[in-house]
A and B are shown apart, each in its own frame.
Chain A
Amino acid sequence: MVETSFQAELPPSLTFSPIALADLPTFGPRLGQIALHRQDGSAHLEISTPNLMTATSHGVIPHLSRDHVNVTKAIRWVHVPFESFLSHTPPIPTLQPGPHPIHRFLGYDPSQHIVSMSARDPFDGRDMPANGKDFISVYCIRGVRKITPNMWNSYTSACNPDVVTALSDTPFTPPPHSQKRITKSIEKSSAWLTDILQAQSQQVLAQGVSEHQCPDISVPNVRNVLVHMAGSVTIQARQAFANSLLEKLDNRDAEQLAPLRTLDDGVAGYVFDLMPLRAALSAKMISTSEILPGLERGAMSVIAPNAQQQHDTPELSDLIQASLKHLPVTKPRLVNSANSPHEMLRLIRDVGIDMIDAHWAQSAADIGVALDFYFPTLNGSPTAIQKCVGPRVRPNGKADLGHNLYDIRYARDHSRLAANYRDALSSQALTGNSSTPASLICPCPTCSPTIGAPAYLHHSTVDHYSFAADSSPAQPSNFQPPFTRSYIHHLLHTHEMSAHSLLVMHNISVLDAFMAGIRTVLEGPTGVEEFHKHVEDFVNCFDEDQVVFDEAKVDWAGVGRARGKGSSSREEIKQALGTAVAL
């Protein structure tokens, strides 16, 4: 068929190139490159992996204005859960005119940001009404809504994100889930993947026609479809779902999906949402009659991972491996809701995960924690530089992953946020040592603010007296002193929203430097070996119990209560976390 050959000519726009493909093991740490070539010829984006994805709430990165998003270079891939837009029918972003509607509506720059979309917020583990035969239950500000595969196809088609996760039938009813339920979940998830791939190929056909008739028309991407790996916490179920992706398509599907031979041929990558897995795992471990306080799922766990939940990476790795065992190693593997850098390292080491969301680092900013850790941990850690006090060391000999800036100890601490990273200004001032590796500078707008970016607004013909024509912000002389711990301590205690903006930019940047550190180690000649060693060092060096988060959580809640904003409903807490402070 003519159409078939046309389809075959269109390359997938998202490509993943693992480095050293020849002997790439099924599991184990790996380096790679994700490249996005959009069909409309707009900017070509590349991301070295392992790397991070920035999480959003209501489509925005919490606490960041658009200018702050644009100057935070660690923000490259932005993931947008779509459910918050379902309060309107049709959802408002689907009505956005112009090319790249979802980028445009939310203010992400197509030349800087890859935007991916899923129906549900991967971090939202709240109990939900059951999914139906042909819909899943989703949550928006007006309550529960239903979304069908058809709706999802039409919304994603209208929004035109760079990457889409197919609908997945993940149960959010209280666990445990019966075998029958899990079987259904697998069947529906694979049927819904078929649906979106079909819609995709129909769109490609339509696109071929329109392209012919009017070459200038804005061409939608072939959307890159990710699949969430179903099967919950049952190894056999996960394997069964993975196998369904590899099965040769039956006649009817084969015709509609040509030239795909299997569903997997149409899949751009594999997604693992850890939140529902953790929930099902803990349900498996404790009898339903004794729900421990602090173990209830849902919004509260947004604040900080509970100690009981922490060290479940081995179980999670087993589950993820069960899915990936027979799937091609050449597709990117994405994880949502890893709850510590330790877990991220283990997932990279034991599975070979390529992209991990930054939700953990972002939510640390909600509770006043400034991250301060580095990978690989250096012998003679750099914490002594410049009288900048490093994170607290706990009785177990391990250092905190950051600073709880609510703590009174920071009231008079006028140093920059992280001991492990210099700020650009002081780094410049280091005489005779102009060679500070860039990786040891936190480039975030909190630690290394610049002025004059992009240009001062002038409001009258005499404003040049106040703001002379400014040199470009790229000028190194435009670096300003870092914002200090004492200032953010003050902002937190006075409920100023700026505290969270400054912390979010910093925390995402620290996680970005952590990922860069991982890549640097892996790039070495004996990278994998070195990496294993450094992971051990990191685990020994930094506190995985995250006591500092628990302390921050208490202070955060205390400051809220002192202000008469105490509340107990989960929705209110989630709301508060979205905004962290009363508006």
Chain B
Amino acid sequence: MEFEILARCHTTNARVCHMKLPHGVTMLPTFIPVATQAAIKGLSAQQVEALGVSLILNSTYHLNLRPGTEILKEAGGAHRFQGWRHNLITDGGGFSLVSLNKSARVTEEGVLFASPSTGEPIMLTPEESMAIQHAIGSDIMTQLDDVVHTLSVGPRVSEAMWRTVRWLDRCIEHHQKSEKRESQSLFAIVHGGVDPHLRDQCLDEMIKRKDRVAGYAIGGLSSGEKGRTLIKQCADKLPADRPRYCTGVGFPEDLLVCVALGIDMADCVFPTRTARFGVALTFHGPLNIRLKKHAKDFCPIDESCPCPTCASGTSRAMLHHIVTVETAGAHALTQHNIVFQARLMGGARGAIMNGIFPTYLKKFFAEYYGQAGYPEWCVNALNSVGVDLLEGKPDAKVVPGDGAQWEYSDTA
């Protein structure tokens, strides 16, 4: 991996970076659409790249179950298998395993679980995680981590953090010995729950291993105020010459806050999943296309959006007619939402390059939350990096808590 910082925001910790991997260049900050099973819902690889996306995520846990490493190797890796020419990142497998498989049990050796198809016990070790990701051939691999519930406290959090550090060593060891050590890059995952002290210890340990780690993921943090304080703590301490990746972040407001705190990349199923529930993301807040008010609206989701859905003039009325009934409705919203996220992050890159990122933040939040009120945690998080969203807006409404009273709901 070649990694170069092209520009820094003069106020916040945001930056624009040029990240060169075996399958091309990805400009950071970026949002990573999720192709869990080697497909972004309903789309082909060519359709995804046409949207201006150069990095997608595959799930190590899922691809190991199906099609399995043997078939992936035969097919020439996951790139060839899914027809994807650009960069690919995989997770370590720990998070999906623990969140999807009730039987998963963590031991020092690895994570023990029952195969969902045969029920036979399987052990996912750090070495095995590396081997699977080598078969996948992802440009960025992630270490196996010991995942605990987001809000856990107590000795289990510390145990998991220290184990994650030990597993990082085993991942590094295995990867360094493999012939893939040049072509694939390994990311560490910073853990430590919501305990700043543990986070600090974890950062110290992982930074010690910097020479053999291409980048850092920040794991196990929920959205909301506390999580963001910890993200800032991590981003501040992580070496500047390594990319910083925040897992599971996808709400637009959240993405921009993370960028301001110094995060370079983030992945989430949110934009594609919410599309299947009929929600279109816009700069004026999300639209639930299933609501009756859209039935006779012949405007596209967003006149200025270059996505295939809006550019071809698909009206909200048409989407209302087919959404959740025809798969084509989901495809149309998925294309739009991926482009929305790409525009949001592309806008951030451009603003940082031009030295106007604070203005970009203010404009985004004013448009997105103008009516509904600013989420307090966003106001605070951005204050911590020198941007006051409320500056010159004495009448602005601030909503305490995590905000987001949107049409995100899937029960409308």
Interface set of A (CB-CB < 8 Å, partner B) = 57-68, 84-85, 88, 92, 95-97, 104-107, 141, 411-412, 414, 445-446, 449-463, 465-467, 480-481, 483-484, 486-487, 489-491, 493-494, 496-498, 500-502, 575, 578-581, 583
Q: Is the CB of A58 within 8 A of B308?
A: no
**17 sample A-B contacts, Cβ–Cβ < 8 Å, listed by A number:** A58-B325, A59-B318, A66-B312, A105-B315, A107-B318, A412-B71, A459-B343, A459-B349, A461-B350, A462-B27, A463-B27, A467-B52, A486-B74, A486-B81, A490-B71, A581-B327, A583-B327
Shortest beta-carbon distance, A471 to chain B, in Å? Answer: 14
Compute how far the CA of A58 lies from the CA of B318 in the bound complex, rounded to whole angstroms. Answer: 10
Q: List chain A residues, Cβ under 8 A from B25.
A: 465-466
Q: Is the CB of B41 within 8 A of A497?
A: yes
CB-CB contacts of B311-336 with A at 8 A, as 1s and 0s?
Answer: 01111011001101111111110010
Shortest beta-carbon distance, B32 to chain A, in Å? Answer: 13
Q: A452-B50, A463-B346, A480-B83 are in contact. Are A66 and B27 (CB under 8 A)?
A: no
Shortest beta-carbon distance, A315 to chain B, in Å? Answer: 34
Q: Is the CB of A451 within 8 A of B85?
A: yes
Q: Is the CB of A459 within 8 A of B296?
A: no
Q: Is the CB of A445 within 8 A of B46?
A: yes
Shortest beta-carbon distance, B308 to chain A, in Å? Answer: 4
User: Interface residues of B, CB < 8 Å — how many?
Assistant: 70
Residue of A whose beta carbon sits closest to that of B318: A105
Q: List chain A residues, Cβ under 8 A from B308.
A: 65-67
Q: List chain A residues, Cβ under 8 A from B67.
A: 411, 486, 489-490
Residue in B39, B50, B343 whose beta carbon sits within 8 Å of that of A453 in the complex: B50
Residue of B whose beta carbon sits closest to that of A104: B313
Compute how far the CA of A377 lies from the CA of B25 in the bound complex, rounded to whole angstroms. Answer: 47
Q: A466-B54, A486-B67 are in contact. Are A498 and B27 (CB under 8 A)?
A: no
Give me the 9 closest cross-chain CB pairs, A-B, nearest first: A459-B346, A457-B52, A460-B346, A497-B42, A460-B349, A65-B331, A494-B37, A498-B39, A460-B350
Residue of B whose beta carbon sits closest to that of A92: B317
Q: List chain A residues, Cβ under 8 A from B349.
A: 459-463
Compute how far the CA of A275 lies from the CA of B301 in the bound complex, rounded to whole angstroms. Answer: 38
Q: A104-B313, A501-B331 are in contact. Are A411 and B42 (CB under 8 A)?
A: no
Residue of A whose beta carbon sits closest to that of B350: A460
Residue of A whose beta carbon sits closest to that of B341: A459
Q: Is the CB of A107 within 8 A of B83?
A: no
Shortest beta-carbon distance, B337 to chain A, in Å? Answer: 13
Q: Is the CB of A412 within 8 A of B37?
A: no
Q: List chain A residues, Cβ under 8 A from B39.
A: 491, 496, 498
Q: List chain B residues, Cβ under 8 A from A85.
A: 321
Q: Is the CB of A449 within 8 A of B327?
A: no
Q: List chain A residues, Cβ under 8 A from B313.
A: 104, 107
Residue in A61, A84, A107, A450 whose beta carbon sits within 8 Å of that of B46 in the complex: A450
Compute how far the CA of A446 lies from the CA of B25 in the bound complex, rounded to whole angstroms. Answer: 26
Q: List chain B residues, Cβ under 8 A from A449.
A: 44-46, 83
Q: List chain A residues, Cβ under 8 A from B74.
A: 412, 414, 486
Q: Is the CB of B27 within 8 A of A107?
A: no
Residue of B whose beta carbon sits closest to that of A95: B296
**A-facing residues in B247-300 (Cβ within 8 Å):** 276, 295-296, 298
Residue in A97, A487, A578 whose beta carbon sits within 8 Å of that of B325 in the complex: A578
Compute how far the CA of A452 lies from the CA of B46 in the bound complex, rounded to whole angstroms. Answer: 8
Residue in B49, B52, B321 whose beta carbon sits within 8 Å of that of A458 in the complex: B52
Q: List chain A residues, Cβ under 8 A from B62.
A: 494
Residue of A whose beta carbon sits closest to that of B17: A462
Interface set of B (CB-CB < 8 Å, partner A) = 6, 16, 18, 24-27, 37-47, 49-52, 54, 62, 66-67, 71, 74-75, 80-83, 85-86, 276, 295-296, 298, 306-309, 312-315, 317-318, 321-322, 324-332, 335, 339, 342-343, 345-347, 349-350, 353
Q: Is the CB of A497 within 8 A of B296?
A: no
Q: Is the CB of B325 within 8 A of A462?
A: no
Shortest beta-carbon distance, B331 to chain A, in Å? Answer: 4
Shortest beta-carbon distance, B181 to chain A, in Å? Answer: 25
Q: A104-B313, A457-B50, A498-B42 are in contact. Are A583 and B332 (CB under 8 A)?
A: no
Q: Is the CB of B353 within 8 A of A461?
A: yes
Compute how far the CA of A462 lies from the CA of B329 in the bound complex, rounded to whole angstroms. Answer: 32
Q: Is the CB of A456 within 8 A of B49?
A: yes
Q: List chain B residues, Cβ under 8 A from A583.
A: 276, 324, 327, 330
Given contacts A60-B322, A105-B318, A462-B6, 19 further A-B contacts (CB under 8 A): A58-B321, A65-B308, A65-B328, A67-B50, A67-B312, A84-B321, A97-B298, A459-B52, A459-B345, A461-B350, A463-B349, A465-B25, A465-B27, A481-B80, A487-B82, A490-B67, A490-B81, A498-B41, A583-B276
Q: Is the CB of B71 within 8 A of A466?
A: no
Q: List chain A residues, Cβ under 8 A from B24.
A: 466
Residue of A whose beta carbon sits closest to that of B328: A60
Residue of A whose beta carbon sits closest to that of B75: A414
Q: Is the CB of A459 within 8 A of B54?
A: no
Interface centre among B80, B309, B315, B318 (most CB of A within 10 A): B318
Q: A412-B74, A484-B75, A496-B37 are in contact. Are A92 and B335 (CB under 8 A)?
A: no
Compute how far the CA of A92 lies from the CA of B295 in the bound complex, rounded to whole angstroms. Answer: 8
Shortest beta-carbon distance, A472 to chain B, in Å? Answer: 13
Compute how far the CA of A123 lies from the CA of B83 in the bound complex, rounded to whole angstroms. Answer: 35
Q: Is the CB of A96 within 8 A of B298?
A: yes
Interface centre among A65, A95, A496, A578 (most CB of B within 10 A): A65
Q: Is the CB of A65 within 8 A of B332?
A: yes
Compute how far the CA of A411 lies from the CA of B72 in the bound complex, rounded to whole angstroms. Answer: 11
Compute how far the CA of A95 lies from the CA of B299 in the bound complex, rounded to whole angstroms. Answer: 12
Q: Is the CB of B46 within 8 A of A95?
A: no
Q: List chain A residues, Cβ under 8 A from B43.
A: 65, 498, 501
Q: List chain A residues, Cβ under 8 A from B332.
A: 65-66
Residue in B44, B296, B328, B331 whose beta carbon sits within 8 Å of that of A502 in the complex: B44
Residue of A whose beta carbon sits closest to that of B65: A494
Q: List chain B residues, Cβ under 8 A from A446.
A: 44
Residue in B50, B52, B81, B318 whose beta carbon sits within 8 Å of that of A487 in the complex: B81
Compute how far the CA of A111 lies from the CA of B216 in the bound complex, rounded to whole angstroms. Answer: 51
Shortest beta-carbon distance, A552 to chain B, in Å? Answer: 18
Q: A141-B325, A412-B71 are in contact. Are A497 and B331 (CB under 8 A)?
A: yes
Residue of B whose beta carbon sits closest to that of A582: B276
Shortest beta-carbon distance, A497 to chain B, in Å? Answer: 4
Shortest beta-carbon distance, A576 to chain B, in Å? Answer: 11
Q: Is the CB of A107 within 8 A of B330?
A: no
Shortest beta-carbon distance, B314 to chain A, in Å? Answer: 6
Compute how far the CA of A463 lies from the CA of B318 in the bound complex, rounded to whole angstroms. Answer: 32
Residue in B44, B296, B329 whose beta carbon sits within 8 Å of that of A501 in the complex: B44
Compute how far the CA of A414 lies from the CA of B74 in the bound complex, rounded to whole angstroms. Answer: 8
Q: List chain B residues, Cβ under 8 A from A92.
A: 295-296, 317-318, 321
Q: A466-B25, A580-B327 are in contact. Are A105 and B317 (CB under 8 A)?
A: yes
Compute how far the CA of A498 lies from the CA of B84 in the bound complex, rounded to whole angstroms. Answer: 14
Residue of A whose beta carbon sits closest to that of B27: A462
Shortest beta-carbon distance, B246 to chain A, in Å? Answer: 19
Residue of B whose beta carbon sits closest to that of A450: B46
Q: A58-B321, A411-B67, A459-B343 are in contact. Are A65 and B26 (CB under 8 A)?
A: no
Compute how far the CA of A481 lies from the CA of B318 in the bound complex, rounded to whole angstroms. Answer: 34
